[in-house]
Each structure stands twice: as structure tokens, then as C-alpha cells.
A and B are shown apart, each in its own frame.
Chain A
């Protein structure tokens, strides 16, 4: 109560100040150490596109969640302390919901205020693609800029790289796929390149119906296309153009997906 004479002595100030400083130092160092522990082994827990190197991402990300909010398919989520990925930072669990680039111009990257997701690199790639197209097609004055720019931006993503497990892959066993690749327990959505051509928006995985004599949906439904993954010798083959977006992981019909994303 203010009325009582509570003059704080210099000794009390130093003592309480020192205790607070030590307390903060201890808790802070502990929290800081724990948050560097990425214990996910990168198993399908990926950073959003454009994420800078993890050491820098740790401080650049202010955990505002703007990337979470802007993603139209709710692919980005914020990690909790127990997920071993640094509390409050964004990640994608691509087996649940992959990034299919349906937002268009890398909206999560563009919205990040502190450039923890760095947009400049994508902007540059997009502009380079437009310049290149203009040089190669000097007489095409009405070309669709978006159709040239966006694929170049998407292709520049490097969230990880897809890795095939030939032991469980249906194609490796010569098996086909009839029906939906996953059931309703998977809440993910996506639009395949063919869907996009038809002007469709992303829709649930369990509503994508296939009828393939040999399963090859990871190849046909890859948002990047043949620079990322092709079908060779009756097997999917991952190429350098793979962005690690995770659509293949999300739609793979086998129980533990036969194609997974490894962080790079």
C-alpha cells in the first residue's frame, strides 16, 4: 500500500535487480537453447517457401502468423513448444496439407514483414522469366504475364526434396490406383495442373478420383511438372526441379507415404 513508507534501499535494488537479471539469463538461455532444437528430423515438417537459413530464420521470424492467415488452403501452421521446431514459428505438415502454389504469387512469402520468408528472390525470378520470354518471343505483345511469371516463381521454391521409397511404392510393385488416393481422414485440398487448366480451385484430396493401371499420380499431379518428377522405367523419378512442396506426399495412396519430403 502506498501509504506505508516503503523506501527501497540501494541494497534491495541491487539484490532484486541481480536476481531478475540472473533469472532472465537462465530462463532466456534455456528457452533459446531449446528453441534451436529441430527435433522433427525434417520428416515432412517443412518451413514455408522462401524461408531463409534456419539460424537466421530463428530471429527473423517474429511469430506474427501473417503467413498462416494469408495461405488460402491453410497449409501453414504455427508450431507449439512441444513440436521441437521452435515455438510460434510457421511450418507445413505436407502429409496433411501440402503447398500446391494455388495462392498464385507466393503470398505467404510476400506478406512476411521481416523477410524471414524472403520474397525478393521470387520477385527477381519472376521478372527474369518475363524478360526472357520477351526476348524469345519479340512479336508476342499480348502474352499472359502471369502465366510466364508464376511458374518461374514456384519453380524457385526449395522447401525440401522428394525421396521415393521403392519398397512400398505401388508403381514399383506394378499396382494401379482406382478411386480416391486417400480417405476423408485427410483434410487436405489441392488442384492438380489439369484442374488449374480447367480453372478449378483446390478441392479435397478424397474427391480426386483416379483410374490408373499403374499408379503414377505423384508424377501427373505435381504442380511443377516434368522438371521436378517424371515416370521412368515404371517408377517415379525425382529430378533437380523438385521444390519439396509435398503434394506427392499428401496424395500418395500408401499408408505411410511412399514418397516423402526431406528438408534441405
Chain B
């Protein structure tokens, strides 16, 4: 056990390597900067990051959201509109897929998504209420989001409408920041209240099909969180802060099958586990260029 190696009790060892906010601060800086850049490009009429999170242009290079594009392609094949989709659309989709393949798929969720930012802070309220025993903890099966993913695609195909976008809190918040508030922010508030008072991280964990789409891209990516078994004290505090604790299955005593494990597609590379780990067992790495990080 790592605390034994340092000649400390478990409690002393935890106190000595107190959690930091290193990765969280980097992540929030990127998230806030990017969403501000969207707003600023419209407000000051500059061609830096035009559009919104559904579709945008970065210095002239088109960027298309993956799930939005998937709905577009499916409906387009049904109606024949597919033939009209522009070269810019496919370039935008290609750039995003390539980029997220490199940086980790669901990295979008914790580093870019404005709803994630609100929800992770709402989660703090939820945890506090649970601690004070005001509400009960509700956890469900993570596989439900695949049902939601299929449902949204089916609805799009059946109704020939982007049904998901009418209720997608990510798009609603993004557009509200840039183009002005919408009455649909009330729906976003309702979602957040539900996450505070009932189901922890309901949208991100169990519903969001954007997350599923990004995680598909992230199944093969060099960027993920690396785990070193010999540094782990099996306290499982990392799973407590993780959005998708099943990705850290190997931290439970006896579960790990190798000395080194990597987190999978659901991991948003948020770094909360890295910041929390007392033993330094977790690190965000890019396989092949580990020395740089």
C-alpha cells in the first residue's frame, strides 16, 4: 500500500497529498474561454468562432456537431436532402471527428459543453443535500443512454425533424449565450432542478445522445486517464467525484487485472479523479507522448 511505503497511516497519507484543482481549473478555463469566444465573435462581429455549438466556423474552417450531423444524414437519406448537403458540412464533420479522436471523444463533455459546467456545479448542491440527508441518492443503469440515443434517432427519422435539438440543453444554452436568452432556458432550469433534487447528473449520464456520439469516436483514442495499480490506496474517492464511475472499475481492491489500466470511451477526461487521487495513481496521458504531459 502506498501509505506504508511512505511510513504513514492511511489518514496521514491522504492529508499529506491533499486534492488539487489543477485539471479542473484548466478545464474550466478552456470551457469558459471557448463559449466566450462564441459570444464575442457575434457581439464584436469578428470571424474567429462564428455560429454556435450545433455548427460553427473557426477562422473559416467549418465544425459540425457529430450527433446533429448524424440526424441530418439519416433524415437526408430518407428525404433525398442528403444530396444537397454541402462540402462544408462534410469537412466540418470530418474535422470534429478527427479532433475528438485525438483528444478523447467525450472530452467535449467536460471541456466544452456549457450544460456540463452548470450540471457539475449543480451536482455539488445535490451532494450537499444528500449529505444533510434531505434527499435520497438515486442511481440508475448507465446503459439507458443508448436507449435514449436510439429513441432520438428514431424520432428524427419518423417525424423528419430534429426533435432532439428542440430540447437539447446544450444547444439552448449555447444559443442563449450568443444570440440572447430563450424561454427554453426554463426547461434547462427544470432539468438542473431535477438533477439537484432527484437524479444525480440525469442528463449527462442517462440521456445525452451527444455524449454517446462522442464516446463512439472516443473508443479508439490515444488520450485517456492512465491508472498505476501500485500507487493506488483503494480509497475510491476518485469514483465519488467521477461523472462515470464505472470507468474507474479497476480501483476497487481486487478488481484490477493488470498493473496499468486506461479509462474507456465514457470517460470525459475531466481530470477530477487525477486532481483527487492522493497517491498520484491517475494521470491524463496521451499514449505515445506521455513525457510531455
Contacts and interface: CB of A to CB of B under 8 A. Distances in A.
Contacts of A13: 140-141, 143-144
Interface in B38-77: 41-42, 45, 50-52, 54-57, 62, 64-65, 68, 71-72, 75-76
A21 interface: yes
10 A-B pairs with the lowest CB-CB distances in the bound complex, closest first: A64-B55, A2-B239, A31-B166, A13-B141, A115-B84, A28-B163, A64-B51, A113-B89, A8-B141, A16-B140
Contacts of A120: 84
Interface in A1-30: 1-3, 6, 8, 12-13, 16-17, 20-21, 24-25, 27-29
A25 B155 contact: yes
Interface string A198-215: 000000000000000000
A135 interface: no
Given A13-B141, A31-B166, A115-B84, A78 B183 contact: no
Interface string B116-146: 0000000000000000000001011101100
A28 B144 contact: no
Contacts of B79: 56, 59
- Interface of B, secondary structure class, is helix
Interface in B18-53: 41-42, 45, 50-52
A205 B81 CA distance: 39
Given A32-B159, A64-B55, A114-B55, A16 B167 contact: no
Contacts of B64: 62, 113
Contacts of A63: 52, 54, 162, 165, 171, 175
A150 B278 CA distance: 66
Given A12-B141, A29-B163, A31-B166, 5 more contacts: A1-B137, A2-B240, A62-B162, A63-B52, A87-B182
A61 B56 CA distance: 13
A93 interface: no
Contacts of A252: none
Given A55-B160, A69-B41, A32 B166 contact: yes
Contacts of B140: 8, 12-13, 16
A60 B85 CA distance: 9
24 contacts: A2-B245, A8-B139, A13-B141, A13-B144, A17-B144, A24-B155, A28-B155, A29-B155, A32-B166, A52-B84, A55-B160, A56-B79, A58-B162, A59-B71, A64-B52, A66-B51, A68-B179, A69-B45, A77-B179, A80-B184, A113-B64, A114-B85, A115-B81, A119-B86
Given A17-B147, A24-B151, A70-B50, A65 B179 contact: yes
Interface residues of A, number: 51
- Interface of A, secondary structure class, is helix
Interface of B: 41-42, 45, 50-52, 54-57, 62, 64-65, 68, 71-72, 75-76, 79, 81, 84-86, 88-89, 92, 137, 139-141, 143-144, 147-148, 151-152, 155-156, 159-167, 171, 175, 178-179, 182-184, 206-207, 236, 239-240, 242, 245, 248
Given A24-B148, A63-B175, A88 B165 contact: yes
A70 B51 CA distance: 9
A82 interface: yes
Contacts of B92: 113
A59 B57 CA distance: 20
B128 to A, nearest CB: 14
A52 B81 CA distance: 10
Nearest to A33: B159
The listed residue with most A CB atoms (<10 A of its CB), out of B51, B179, B182, is B51
A81 interface: yes
